[in-house]
Every structure is written in C-alpha cells, then in structure tokens.
Amino acid sequence: MVFFIGTVYWTGTVIITFGDVPVPVAAVGVVLMSAYLSLYHVVGLLVTSRVIARLGARGLFFAPFGWVGGEFLRGVMLSGFPWVPLGNSQVTVLPVAQLASVLGVYGLSALVAYVNATVAFALLRTGRPRMTAVVAAAVVLVSLGAWGTWRIRDGSLLREGTPIRIGIIQPNVEQNAKLAAADGSDQNEARRIFTTNIAMTRDVVRRGAQFVMWPESSIPFKFERDQRGDEIRALAREVKVPLLFGSDEEITAAGQYSIYNSAYLLEPDGRTAAVYRKIHLVPFGEFVPLRRWFFFIRPLVDSFSDFSAGESMVMLPVAGHRVNTAICYEVVYPSLMRDAVNQGSELLTTITNDGWYGQSSAPYQHFAMAAMRAIEQGRYLARSANTGISGLIDPYGQIVRQSAIFEQVGLVEEARFLTGKTMYAAIGDVVGYTSLALTVITALVLWRRDRGND
C-alpha cells in the first residue's frame, strides 16, 4: 500500500484537475487503487511467510518467486497494469540492467528481491550460512555487472544496421488548451496547435530528419473526418519524409460505431501507409472496466471516453524497414514490444501525451519504463511526448538525448534499424510464468499439508 500510494499518487491529481472530482474523493480513489494493486502481491507474500515459518530464515529465498509471481499477474490480469515493476529500479544502473536483454524486467525484479532476501538472511543468521549467502549474492552481482559492462563497452548494436535520422516533435501544448481545441470551444488554439506542429516539422527536416514523429492525439481534430487532414498530407509531400502522428479514428461498420486511439503513418507522397489502433487502453481513462459496477460514481464514469481496443500489432513501413509504435502507456507492457520485434520491427517508437500528469513523477516513471523496453529488445527507441519527456534511447538503455518536461523542442538524432534479437525476445517472460507457477504450486502443497495435519 505504501509503495503504490507513493508511486501512483498522481492519479489523484489527474482526476481532480480533469475530472472535477473533490479532493477527498480523489484521495479515497488513490487509496482504493493502491489497495487493489497490492492484492496481487498478497498471495505471494503470504506463501513466502508460510515457507519461512516452515524453513526458518532459509525460506526468505522464496521471496523472489513470491514477489515476481504477483508482479507478473498484476501485469496481465484485467488488461494488466504493469506500472513500475521492481526491476525498473535498475534502469539507470546500466551494467546490471543488461540482464533485461536475457530475462526481461521480471528477471531484474527477481534479482532485486534475491539481493534483499540475502540482506535479510544475513541479518538473521550467523557463521557459515551467513557467509555462504553473502558470497553467493556477491558473485552473482559482480558477474552480472562485469558482463553488463562488457556488453555496453562492446557496443556492437551501435554499429550494426542502417542509420536513420529521426525528428522528434515535442510541441508542449498544455492539456486544458488541447481539450478546448479538441471540443471546438477555442478554434484559435486549435489552429495554433496545428501550425506549431507543421512549423516544427519543417524545422527538423531542414536539420536532416528523415522520419518525423508527432505525439499521441497531436492534432485537435479527427484526421480522416476533417479537411485539415489534407494539409498534413500536403506537408508530407512538401518535406518528403514519412510522418507518424496520433489522432482519434472513427469507424462505423455494420451499423456499429467505434472510436480508436490511433497512430497514422503517412508516406512521403502523402498517402496513408498504415494505421495502428491502440490495443491496451488506459483503465478509467479510455475505458471503464466493469462499468455497471461503478454506478456510485456515475458522473465520473460517464465523463470518460469509451474507446474500442485495437486487435493486433501493425508494422509501419519506414524507408524500406519495419517499425512499430506503442501509444501512451502501452510501452509499459514488455510483451507488446516483444511481439512487435518478433513480427519484424527494427525500430521501437512510442507516442504519448503526458500533459495530464503535470509536474508529478509520472512522466519520469513513464520514460524510465520505455528505456527498459529498449534494453529488453536490443532496439533503439524513439519517444515523442506532447509535454515531455521526449527522446531517443539506444539498445543498451543509454539516453542519446532527452528533453525537459514542458519544453517546446524538436530533436533530431540518429538511430539504427536493427534485425538481431535478444535472448529475451526469444524466450519471453519465462521468469514471470515460472514464479507464478511456483507460487501457486507451493501454496497448494502448503494447503494440503495443513489440511493433512488437521
């Protein structure tokens, strides 16, 4: 509870500012959300405590399985919310973070839990058991650190593949201004937003950009339903580079209306090359799970847009190569980026609007999780965010360049299209599945033994 309240406190600020919710109600909402997220760890930690009761201090070494099992389940149940897993704490400790290229972020979570279990064991035991445990953990850390340092210094991924210069647009449009422009109440603001994106695009192309990215929902209208969409096509023809941008997309088929949070890629000749529809929607932001059960906050629930979810990853053709994009918080899903790479993506991109989060820690958390995806997949990752943080991250998790939040800036940096795959891309979340399975099996064994004793 303490961990989640301290981590996702900013959800309260968002619903106060943009949902017109009283502060006490928002505070209760943060506590309830934190309690819900905590439930995923209850079983694993309860099983760990029972193992300790039977085995003594040695049972502490079950903690990595108990913790990661709950963490993994939190990332997949009810569409999942894998926000800031324990392993992401190592994203700036680059030699250690390279383990993610083998075992993913859940492997790093297990490592952190293991080291802390060793510390606890050393505090509880003396003599040879303590020394053995500490030496074993030290060997693991030194070995991983040495390998990670070698991997970064080798830097082969920075020399492979085909280079491309990416223009990353951060227009820095305040969220209330975006909302006023989108609902038509401020046409002057709508025009300013649109012309800002166009001017910044021309600027980054003059500076050598060969592929330009705008943020999520970067235009204050629906691209295919507004004549201003032709101006974007004309811009692509003018600058003669592929253009990626976010826009809501409306589709009516068989008498059924759907709206998607989509990403469009335009060819240099202005044609639509591909459209990706967001798969993982934000709970209580883009859809309301179990909507009929939340009747007691009906005004708040009804204020949320009810987007439809996309069905599959779409490859975006850029300069003869395959690229994918993740919209907003989709980048926190390790499996989504892994699926994209296994479908042939040579460059990871993500477009987002973090303007909702203000000056909170959320934009920094979000950017750090994007960096972890780069390490896991051994790919460059380019990120365009409306108010920041935008930037480019290399395949080792090193920040090539990043913007400040609430800064209007156009970045132009060189990335590379890469085709090799990491071990993690091949084996996926083996650590997560294994931890969950061991936790469930151990719980069943303990339950049966307890019943037998009764």
Q: Are residues 251 and 398 in the same domain?
A: yes
77 membership: H or E segment, kind and range: none
Q: Are residues 402 and 435 in the same domain?
A: no
Give the pLDDT of residue 407.
94
Q: Are residues 142 and 256 in the same domain?
A: no
Compare 254 and 206 and report the one with higher pLDDT: 206
Which residues are CB-neighbours of 55 under 8 A, at least 6 positions away? Answer: none
197-211, 375-389, 434-448 — which is least confidently predicted? Answer: 434-448
Which residues are CB-neighbours of 361 under 8 A, at least 6 positions away? Answer: 7, 10
Q: Are residues 131 and 200 in the same domain?
A: no
Give the pLDDT of residue 429.
96
At residue 305 the predicted structure's pLDDT band, cuts being 50, 70 and 90, is low
Of the candidates 71, 178, 189, 278, the residue annotated as catalytic is 278
Say how many residues make up the chain: 454
Indicate the SS3 state at residue 328.
helix
Of the candidates 71, 216, 286, 376, the residue annotated as catalytic is 216
Rounded Cα–Cα distance for residues 223 and 452 (Å): 65
Q: Are residues 285 and 139 in the same domain?
A: no
Q: Are residues 127 and 236 in the same domain?
A: no
Give the pLDDT of residue 34.
92
Of the candidates 189, 267, 286, 328, the residue annotated as catalytic is 328
Percent of the chain whose pLDDT exceeds 90: 72
Q: Are residues 182 and 232 in the same domain?
A: yes
55-59, 180-184, 231-235 — which is least confidently predicted? Answer: 180-184
At residue 220 the predicted structure's pLDDT band, cuts being 50, 70 and 90, is confident
216 counts as catalytic: yes
Q: Are residues 233 and 347 in the same domain?
A: yes
Q: Are residues 149 and 264 in the same domain?
A: no
Q: What are the CA-CA distances from residue 390 to residues 77, 83, 132 (Å)?
A: 29, 19, 45
Residue 302, token pair as written in the block:
């009804």
pLDDT in tens, 10-36: 988 888 887 778 888 889 989 998 999
Indicate the SS3 state at residue 249.
strand
Q: How far is CA 240 from the centre of its chain?
A: 31
CATH of residue 305's domain is 3.60.110.10
Give the pLDDT of residue 15.
82
At residue 66 the predicted structure's pLDDT band, cuts being 50, 70 and 90, is very high
Peptide bond into 389 cis (omega under 30): yes
Q: Are residues 315 and 379 in the same domain?
A: yes
328 counts as catalytic: yes
Residue 249: name the closest of 217, 222, 271, 214 by CA. 222
Give the pLDDT of residue 424.
98
407 counts as catalytic: no
pLDDT in tens, 378-390: 999 999 999 989 9
How many domains in the chain?
A: 2
Residue 82: name the closest of 373, 353, 350 by CA. 373
Burial of 339 (0-12, 13-18, 19+ CB in 10 A): middle
Domain that holds residue 100: 2-156+428-453
Q: Are residues 201 and 114 in the same domain?
A: no
- Mean of the pLDDT values across residues 232-248? 95
Q: Are residues 312 and 412 in the same domain?
A: yes
Tokens 């020399």, residue?
Answer: 159
